[in-house]
Amino acid sequence: MPIIAPSMLSADFLKLGEEIDMINNSEADWFHLDVMDGMFVPNISYGMPIISTIKKRAKKICDVHLMVVQPERYLEEFKKAGADYLTVHYETGYHLHRTLTSIRALGMKAGLAINPHTPVAMVADIIHEIDLLLVMSINPGFGGQKFLPLTYNKIRQAKELITNAGSNTLIEIDGGVTLDNAADIIAAGADVLVAGNTVFAASDPAEMIKRLKHIGK
């Protein structure tokens, strides 16, 4: 069964506590928390104060996705805010080996995200430093976009790379995940599905989470 990570970017922030409780009481596994700086992506979301607030109430793993230039400036602060997984973008790093090693040294799981234009092969030499490979299935910045079909090939390539390396890196897919494509995404080799719009725009979000969780069966 896939790990389901609802993206809080699509939550109703007027009732954040209820949204968190809905996820706590659902079959979701992780909270996916998107941090955008208005530089790496053309949007600004939220930062440490919101994440530490969510962390106080969340009973599940906090999976923090940094869409931020020079993310190495903030590793300790996101640890303090409560990140369990901390993911940085390949495209933002001059010294990714160092950044990923630092994330682990701080006691977090290290994630690396690749944009749709970045070949999977670029991460081959650092695969053992990565606990989570986030393959973006949209251009990051906004929820509710359409899944890019080029992602399927990338998932298969990522799976092959990870298997050949004998690594247990998880593959996470983020962007445009729906009930219509989730089964194919899992069949291609994904372990973690992020879902924002699909979950929070549903009339029954907890039921939607349950359907995504059981879709591969």
**Cα–Cα dist 80/58, whole Å:** 15
Assess 174 for contact with ligand DX5 (CB under 6 A). Answer: yes
Out of 29, 63, 174, 191, which one is annotated catalytic?
174
**Helical packing angle, 205-213 and 16-24, nearest 10°:** 30
Nearer CB in complex with ligand DX5: 36/123: 36
**174 tagged catalytic:** yes
Are 149 and 135 in contact by the 8 Å Cβ rule? The answer is no
CB of 187 to ligand DX5, least distance (A): 19
**Cα–Cα dist 190/152, whole Å:** 9
Assess 28 for contact with ligand DX5 (CB under 6 A). Answer: no
Q: Measured in Å, how far apart are the chain's first and last C-alpha atoms? A: 8
Assess 120 for contact with ligand DX5 (CB under 6 A). Answer: no
Assess 196 for contact with ligand DX5 (CB under 6 A). Answer: yes
Nearer CB in complex with Zn ion: 144/165: 144
**Helical packing angle, 16-24 and 48-57, nearest 10°:** 50
Tell me the CB-side half-sphere exposure of residue 136, using CA atoms within 13 A. 25
Out of 34, 63, 131, 191, which one is annotated catalytic?
34
Q: Which does 143 bind (CB under 5 to 8 A by kind): ligand DX5, Zn ion, none?
A: ligand DX5
**Cα–Cα dist 40/136, whole Å:** 14
Assess 175 for contact with ligand DX5 (CB under 6 A). Answer: yes
Assess 115 for contact with ligand DX5 (CB under 6 A). Answer: no
CB of 32 to ligand DX5, least distance (A): 6
Q: Is 191 helix (H, G, I), strand (E, B) or coil?
A: coil
**191 tagged catalytic:** no
Residue 104, amino acid: R
Assess 172 for contact with Zn ion (CB under 5 A). Answer: no
Assess 89 for contact with Zn ion (CB under 5 A). Answer: no
**Member of 111, 176, 189, 205 binding ligand DX5 (CB under 6 A):** 176
Assess 143 for contact with ligand DX5 (CB under 6 A). Answer: yes
Q: Which residues contact 163 (CB under 8 A, 6 or more apart)?
A: none
**Member of 2, 3, 20, 34 binding Zn ion (CB under 5 A):** 34
Tell me the CB-side half-sphere exposure of residue 86, using CA atoms within 13 A. 27
Joined together, the tokens standing for residue 201 give 């725009």
Site for ligand DX5, rule CB under 6 A:
7, 9-10, 32, 34, 65, 138, 140-141, 143-145, 174-177, 194-198
Q: Report the catalytic residues.
A: 34, 174
